[in-house]
């Protein structure tokens, strides 16, 4: 009996030693608590340079306000990294769109009559000729692989097959183009017309509906949480369109009566809409159809976008030709080309693409 007890104890000790060794091996493979291993993608192209990317830790918690669920805390982020300038995109680039499937970006040269195609090596590979008809804003529909853009030269909205580089549909909708944006739930495109105060709802090659608004619209962004489309306008107003019925349902007074609201983007981390006010040098925050905050210190902000990897906002400052990177507890700026307009996050290379209207270039900046 004593021998059996001794054998049992010995076996138990051996098991404890083995389990302890496995735990030590597992935790050593994870690295230090709170750290993150991150692979940086280098940028190539004209005027490229290698810049060390400083990492920082955001010691803040992001909470889902609807469920009080903690989402993210103590994240390791990267500051602005390498920047290159690409100058073969055509005259006065304005709109920019990103194809998450191919990794290509599309830049509309508003005075060059073309759309440049940029690959994931930051190279202009091809150009779509539009007969000098001044393309303005542009959007990509990943569900049908088509491009949508306004042609200011002939007051029309055109749909382009980028693979064939040909126009497959053309709609004369009048002057006053605004933003074009994609609804991933209904897989439709929403196109803003400022002069007629309308939003056009486009499914594949057909305009399904036009939605009248009580003010002058400009930008538009889709909120996947409530399924609605939010449209910026003059006089500090944001218009809400129900994504199911495609009916105008509400007006939110976001800024003052003189606030000129332009850009708008959805933050997938805190489920809020962020609206740029050109006249107030501010960004207003909307959640559940209520204004919940504001951020000041920008310089005539226009375009805005978010990283798809981390809760980081990028705002284009047209007044001093910079881009601001903003997180919950700090911000930084980087100079870009002259008179920047729009910005998009390219998830393929982990960078933002900024259109520089004033000197006919784009800036591609390594980001988080």
Q: Please check the confidence at residue 52 and state whether its pLDDT lies above 80.
A: no
The residue ranking higher by pLDDT, 347 or 249, is: 249
Phi, psi dihedrals of residue 14, rounded to the nearest 5°: -60, -40
pLDDT single digits (tens) 180-237 = 999 999 999 999 999 999 999 999 999 999 999 999 999 999 999 999 999 999 899 9
Mean pLDDT to the nearest integer, 310-332: 93
Count of beta carbons in the 10 Å neighbourhood of residue 265 = 25
Mean pLDDT to the nearest integer, 284-299: 94
Is 212 buried (19+), middle (13-18) or exposed (0-12) by CB count in 10 A? exposed
Mean pLDDT to the nearest integer, 126-132: 91
pLDDT of residue 81: 78
Is 193 buried (19+), middle (13-18) or exposed (0-12) by CB count in 10 A? buried
Phi, psi dihedrals of residue 24, rounded to the nearest 5°: -65, -40
pLDDT confidence bin for 9, thresholds 50/70/90: very low
pLDDT single digits (tens) 99-112 = 999 999 999 999 99
**Tokens at residue 182, please?**
């994609």
In terms of C-beta distances under 8 Å and separation of at least 24 residues, what long-range contacts does 33-36 make, across chains too?
Answer: 34/74, 34/76, 35/76, 36/75, 36/76
* Nearest by Cα to 270 from 78, 69, 77: 69
Phi, psi dihedrals of residue 12, rounded to the nearest 5°: -60, -40
Mean pLDDT to the nearest integer, 69-96: 70
Mean pLDDT to the nearest integer, 303-310: 94
Torsion of CA 102, 103, 109, 110, to 10 degrees: 80
Mean pLDDT to the nearest integer, 74-95: 77
Q: How far is CA 210 from CA 150, 157, 183, 198, 264, in A?
A: 16, 13, 15, 6, 21
Q: How far is CA 140 from CA 101, 120, 183, in A?
A: 11, 16, 11
- The shares of helix, strand and coil residues in the chain, as percent rounded to the nearest 5, are 10, 50, 40
pLDDT confidence bin for 330, thresholds 50/70/90: confident
Mean residue pLDDT of the chain comes to: 82
pLDDT of residue 309: 87
The helix/strand/coil state of 25 is helix
| Strand partners of residue 170 | 158
Mean pLDDT to the nearest integer, 309-338: 93
Identify whether the C-beta of residue 249 lies closer than 8 Å to the C-beta of residue 240.
yes
pLDDT of residue 17: 53
Q: Please check the confidence at residue 63 and state whether its pLDDT lies above 70.
A: no
Q: Quote the CA–CA distance of 115 and 118 in Å, as a whole number.
A: 10
pLDDT of residue 74: 30
Degrees to nearest 5, angle at CA 107 with 101 and 110: 150
Degrees to nearest 5, angle at CA 101 with 99 and 102: 75
């Amino acid at each position: 009996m004593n021998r059996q007890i001794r054998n049992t104890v010995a076996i138990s000790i051996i098991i404890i030693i083995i389990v302890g060794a496995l735990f030590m091996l597992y935790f050593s493979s994870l690295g230090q608590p709170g750290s993150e291993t991150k692979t940086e993608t280098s940028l190539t192209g004209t005027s490229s340079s290698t810049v060390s990317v400083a990492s920082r830790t955001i010691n803040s918690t992001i909470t889902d306000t609807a469920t009080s669920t903690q989402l993210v805390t103590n994240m390791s982020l990267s500051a602005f990294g390498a920047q290159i300038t690409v100058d073969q995109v055509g005259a006065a680039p304005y709109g920019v769109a990103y194809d998450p499937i191919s990794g290509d970006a599309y830049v509309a040269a508003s005075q060059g009559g073309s759309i440049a195609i940029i690959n994931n090596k930051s190279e202009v590979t091809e150009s779509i000729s539009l007969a000098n008809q001044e393309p303005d804003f542009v959007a990509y529909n990943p569900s049908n692989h088509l491009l949508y853009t306004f042609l200011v030269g002939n007051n029309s909205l055109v749909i382009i097959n980028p693979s064939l580089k040909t126009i497959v549909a053309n709609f004369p909708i009048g002057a006053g183009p605004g933003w074009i944006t994609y609804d991933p739930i209904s897989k439709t495109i929403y196109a803003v017309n400022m002069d007629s105060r309308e939003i056009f709802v486009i499914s594949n090659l057909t305009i399904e509906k036009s939605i009248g608004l009580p003010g002058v619209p400009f930008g538009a962004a889709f909120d996947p949480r409530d399924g609605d489309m939010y449209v910026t306008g003059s006089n500090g107003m944001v218009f809400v369109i129900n994504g199911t019925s495609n009916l105008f349902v509400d007006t939110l007074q976001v800024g003052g009566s003189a606030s000129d609201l332009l850009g708008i983007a959805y933050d997938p981390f805190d489920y809020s809409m962020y609206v740029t006010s050109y006249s107030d040098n501010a960004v207003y925050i909307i959640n559940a159809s209520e204004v919940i905050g504001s951020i000041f210190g920008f310089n005539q902000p226009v375009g805005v976008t978010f990283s798809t990897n981390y809760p980081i906002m990028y705002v284009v400052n047209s007044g001093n030709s910079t881009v601001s990177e903003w997180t919950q507890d700090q911000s930084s700026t980087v100079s870009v080309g002259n008179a920047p307009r729009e910005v998009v996050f390219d998830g393929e290379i982990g960078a933002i693409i900024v259109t520089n209207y004033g000197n006919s270039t784009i800036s591609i900046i390594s980001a988080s």
